Amino acid sequence: MNKLIILLSLALCLTFFQAQAQRCLPGQKGIEITTGTVNGFNPQNGFYSGIALSQYAKGSNKWKFGFDYLEKQYSYKDIKIPQSQFTIDAGYYINFLSDRHKTFFASVGASVAGGYETINWDNKLLFDGATINNSDNFIYGGALTLEAEVFLTDRLVLAADACERLLAGSSVGKLNTLLGISIKFLIN
């Protein structure tokens, strides 16, 4: 009789309590690949791509370190003149919303960035004899980001973010809005 009571108790416990995956544990790392648009939803006007390493801290907060490439296109007569930026950034994201199953997370983050900007790949003379007066520069600044993450599996995360980035040193545009999606692979 005691064995039957123990088996029924165990079955009852398994019915009412589900084990949840351990997600966003302090020290857990992931590699993130990102792509998106710049200053609107049209990728022909500008796009960016990047790769980052993220590491979770307490409270599902996280550190993120990454490398980004951004390109914006400026129309001149029948051609497009590219503005390209190569940046390295580091930031901290604070989780402010999550569900009890640890499937959805929303975070706000701040980061610092620095890098290099080139206009038309340093080709100053255009096809019609016009000259570009803007110069290539080192750029530096920061960004504020709003990010939403959804765990597809315990090791695969899909994220969307909106980022407002201010980079001083640019001779063309200092403020850019980045809208992107990313996929993250948790590696430990």
d(CA 146, CA 60): 15
- CB-based contacts of 133, cutoff 8 Å, min separation 6: none
pLDDT band at 10 (very low <50, low <70, confident <90, very high): low
Which residue range forms the structural domain that includes residue 31?
A: 23-186
31 in a domain, yes or no? yes
Which tokens sit at 183? 């996929």
Reported as a pLDDT band with limits 50, 70 and 90, residue 17 is very low
pLDDT tens for 52-101 read 999 999 988 999 999 999 999 888 888 889 999 999 999 999 999 998 88
The β-bridge partners of 139 are 115
Distance from C-alpha of 135 to C-alpha of 172, rounded to nearest angstrom: 9
Mean pLDDT of the chain: 88
CA torsion sign for 112, 114, 119, 120 is negative
pLDDT at 3: 63
Q: Is residue 118 part of a domain?
A: yes
> For residue 15, what pLDDT band results from cuts at 50, 70 and 90?
very low
Is residue 96, in this structure, part of any structural domain at all? yes
Three-class DSSP category at 121:
helix
Q: Is the model's pTM score more than 0.85? A: no
| Total domains present in the chain | 1
Q: What percent of the chain is predicted at pLDDT more than 90?
A: 59
Residue 51 lies in a domain: yes
Give the model's pLDDT for residue 19: 43
Q: What is the pLDDT of residues 106-127, one digit of tens each?
A: 999 999 999 999 999 888 888 8
User: Tell me, what CATH number does 87's domain have?
Assistant: 2.40.160.20
